[in-house]
Amino acid sequence: MKKLVKPRKTREIHSHHFDSTIWNDLEFRDDDIIISTYAKSGTTWMQQIIAQLLFDGDPDVPVADMSPWMDLRVPPKEIKLPFVEAQDHRRFLKTHLPVDALQFSEEAKYLYIGRDGRDVVWSLYNHHVNANQAWYDALNETPGRVGPPIERPPEDIRQYWLDWFQGDGYPFWSFWENVRSWWEIRDLPNVLFVHFSDLKRDMPGQIRRIASFLDIPIDDSKWPAILEHCSFEWMKKNGEKSTPLGGAFWDAGAEVFINKGVNGRWADILTVIESSEYEQKAKAELGSECSNWLANGGALSIG
């Protein structure tokens, strides 16, 4: 059995999106739930699943308001911290940071959701290309922004892919260090890995697995409602509750954020060589076991 090492904060990350220092000032509660992904990997889906479990399938839970993205610079931590401190329900907070830029609690429960990098970028492109001026203003004009502003994306999705792949996550943040940092702590008892493809393949099974990890009993009479409210169709139709700011950053609204919910949309656009360059890079950056899991999902072997 591998020795389990508690992660340690080694750095702060600041950018047009990030202010990692918020975690230094958060007073953890023992029952906190932290949802982590690189981005565009099913974060909102997991927030919805947890809200449905915590609130017994209530369709009206204002998920996005309740479950803020802690390390997003907007609104600043002076507003966000008192807000989450005042919450009297079980908290479920979102992060997109690598583990070593967080403060890690031994009691809180961490869910990490993985998705193939190509699917992530196809989702990211949709997120970015549809963002409106309010999104650019919020990110670029926010006091304390560090580094260059976020620019408008190129029209061509292949070019967007190349910029991201060759630029280590440009214009967002490094993909490899995010996945690798979480992978290294996957065996900790308070960490659960979930894959987007497994959620697609067997959502009921994955929801039961998540509920068991979080010690949330399921009321069987509420089970059909929970499943319905976590389905793609329901979430797309009711996206204003789960999408950040009700979708105000996208002129087409929340429906554009809950976009297609499928994988593999890159397969007709990237060449075989480009795809295989990604696969080789994933293996070199993450190792075979992790890169295989990231591409396909499936159960993890116990370390």
Binding track over 81-120 against ligand A3P, x by CB under 6 A:
----------------------------------------
52 binds ligand A3P (CB under 6 A): no
**Minimum CB distance to ligand A3P, residue 35 (Å):** 9
Contacting residues for 209 by C-beta, under 8 A, at least 6 apart: 192, 194
Q: Do residues 98 and 170 lie in contact, with contact meaning Cβ atoms separated by under 8 Å?
A: no
Q: Quick one: which of 32, 33, 36, 40 contacts ligand A3P (CB under 6 A)?
A: 40
Burial class (CB in 10 A: 0-12, 13-18, 19+), 147: exposed
Judged by CB under 6 A, the residue of 20, 41, 178, 291 near ligand A3P is 41
Q: In angstroms, what is the minimal distance from the CB of 2 to ligand A3P?
A: 29
Using CB under 6 A, which of 18, 23, 42, 169 touches ligand A3P? 42
Burial of residue 113 (number of CB atoms within 10 Å: 0-12, 13-18, 19+): buried
Contact region for ligand A3P (CB under 6 A) — 57-65, 121-129, 148-156, 179-187? 121-129
Which of residues 18, 23, 45, 164 is near ligand A3P by CB under 6 A? Answer: 45
**With CB under 6 A as the contact rule, which of the stretches 33-41, 65-73, 171-179, 214-222 interacts with ligand A3P?**
33-41
Of the pair 154, 261, the CB lying nearest ligand A3P is at 261
Cis amide leading into 217 (omega within 30): no
Q: Does 126 bind ligand A3P (CB under 6 A)?
A: yes
Q: Which residues contact 95 (CB under 8 A, 6 or more apart)?
A: 23, 34, 35, 36, 69, 70, 71, 102
- Cα–Cα distance measured from residue 229 to residue 231, given in angstroms and rounded to the nearest whole number: 6
Q: Which is nearer to ligand A3P, 45 or 278 (CB)?
A: 45
CB of 120 to ligand A3P, least distance (A): 8
Q: Is 37 in the site for ligand A3P (CB under 6 A)?
A: yes
Rounded Cα distance between 168 and 277, Å, is 14
Q: Are 294 and 286 in contact (CB under 8 A)?
A: yes
Side-chain half-sphere exposure of 144, counting CA atoms within 13 A: 14
Residue tagged 């290294």 (tokens): 184
Closest residue to ligand A3P using C-beta atoms: 261
Q: Which of 15, 67, 123, 206 binds ligand A3P (CB under 6 A)?
A: 123
- Name the residue among 255, 201, 208, 217 with its Cα closest to residue 44: 255
- Alpha carbon distance 87, 243 (integer Å): 19
Q: Are 14 and 146 in contact, with CB atoms under 8 Å apart? A: yes
Among residue numbers 213 through 272, which ones bind ligand A3P (CB under 6 A)? 230-232, 235, 258-261
| Nearest approach, Cβ of residue 57 and ligand A3P (Å) | 15
- Of 5-13, 35-43, 218-226, 290-298, the window that binds ligand A3P (rule: CB under 6 A) is 35-43
Give the binding site for ligand A3P (CB under 6 A).
37, 39-45, 122-123, 126, 230-232, 235, 258-261
